[in-house]
Structure 1
């Protein structure tokens, strides 16, 4: 379904361009800000694990926020999971953003869905779809020679993917603004799953280091990504948890 995802991204781009002309007044008068971000990536990694069997991904994100801080959004990407017919992922997001004592906060929820995926009871497979509640925080340290941002996130699902019970994810990171519109960033996260046997791997850590370059409305990012999972621990010996380099290009409208 990669074509479907690309078509959805093209449609979102068209919507963004339309809003940037005739539709801008109506959106501003309603107190809304709309952002559309298409992305082309060498892989689709989620917490360090490939969602496309190590293949490229075409993705799109739309974010609509009101002046009160409340927002809704959506994300679409092609996916490929061994032993399933899932070909696309569409996530829905909603929440509230605010700033408190210099800390940017994002309190929300995410529903992960896979349209077209079929899970007949006779297949012995568990459901891919699930949802999470999420808290994100960001703080830029003042009075430094270069801008430094500290990031943190916590996600909880009462029934994580593949019906594997409670899932908890915590992540921390740093972003360093460099001259010439470069940004150096690092992330370290850890995923806990209640039922590891059903999920397919032990609890695991993931980390990455990336370098981004912003030019015009584009951002080009290259990075190194890895997890603590060995080949034997990775979903029946798959090669989707291994260290890899990755590059992706995105543009925000």
Structure 2
């Protein structure tokens, strides 16, 4: 648990600098499927609903902490038959902007209550900027021991979003997941991608996206449909 010291330090610094300068926010979402880096976390069918939500606390200095949770359906890695039905993420970091370039660095802990070997840490960093009317970003996540104790890993992702009109937007991303112990994780290294349309209605943010990977069924956890491409609809609200 030594990696938590970075997040705990952020908590202490936020408290020491005074709650009067901190800002709280919250979010909630309903999705037809919870896709993480192109792989479903809620089931093999095209529609496997997920309810998620989180809280964030940010300081004007750029320091922040937060938590996010969703339902999942994941088998524990030790083969004891236990199923994880919840994922909780705990994170803290520092973000800011310099010369039109935004940046974000931090530490993220993935916790799956009721299981023994699924939890893992990641260090993350991202850069973002605007090119004309488009927002572009590049991020990296690095884990010293990835999901299900599958060894060193890193995930690279490039993204772009732009307005199509006053009411609609477009976003796209492509990522690459590298895994040290592929047999332990259940797949070889892979690419994932996403194409999405966004809009707002009745006070909600709406997105319809197609998400897929380059993994075949035989490469996907011994012949499953978790890695299949699918359309995902999400309705979300931030407070």
- Normalised by the size of structure 2, how large is the TM-score? 0.86
Go from structure 1 to structure 2 and tell me whether the alpha carbon gap of 1:217 and 1:152 turns closer, same or farther (over 3 Å shift).
Answer: farther
Greater fraction helix: 1
1:165 to 130, 151, 155: 151
Paired residue for 1:252? 238
> Which among 100, 112, 124 is matched to residue 134 of structure 1?
124
**d(CA) in 2 for partners of 1:178, 1:30:** 39
SS in 2 for 1:30: helix
Whole-Å Cα distance in 1 between the matches of residues 51 and 86 of structure 2?
10
Following superposition, which runs of at least 4 residues in structure 1 exceed 3 angstroms of deviation? none
> Please, which of 105, 108, 113 is the counterpart of residue 107 of structure 1?
105
How many residues were matched structurally?
A: 214
Corresponding residue SS for 1:241:
coil
Q: Does 1:60 align with 2:53?
A: yes
Q: Partners of 2:51 and 2:157 in 1: how far apart? A: 25
TM-score, normalisation: structure 1? 0.82
Task: Note the alpha carbon deviations across 1:50-103, whole angstroms, 9 max, x for none.
Answer: 001141100002111000000000010000014532110111010000102211
Instruction: State the 1:216 CA deviation.
Output: 6.0
Report the 3-state secondary structure (helix = DSSP H, G, I; strand = E; otherwise coil) of the residue aligned with 2:139: strand
> Does the CA-based 8 Å contact 1:217-1:252 persist in structure 2?
no
Corresponding position: 1:202 with 2:188: yes
> In the aligned structure 2, how far is the partner of 1:70 from the partner of 1:52?
32
**2:69 & 2:19 partners in 1: Cα distance?**
28
Which secondary structure does the structure 2 equivalent of 1:235 belong to? coil
- Alignment partner, residue 227 of structure 2: 241
1:115 to partner: Cα distance: 1.5
Unaligned runs of 5+ in 1: 1-27, 120-126
Partner of 2:33: 43
Partner in structure 2 of residue 71 of structure 1: 64
Cα RMSD between the aligned structures?
1.4
Q: Distance in 2 between matches of 1:249 and 1:93?
A: 23
Partners of 1:181 and 1:215 within 8 A in 2: no
From 184, 195, 201, the equivalent of 2:170 is 184
Contact 1:86–1:114 (Cα < 8 Å) also in 2: yes
The 10-residue stretch of structure 1 (225-234 or 99-108) with the greater mean CA deviation from structure 2: 99-108
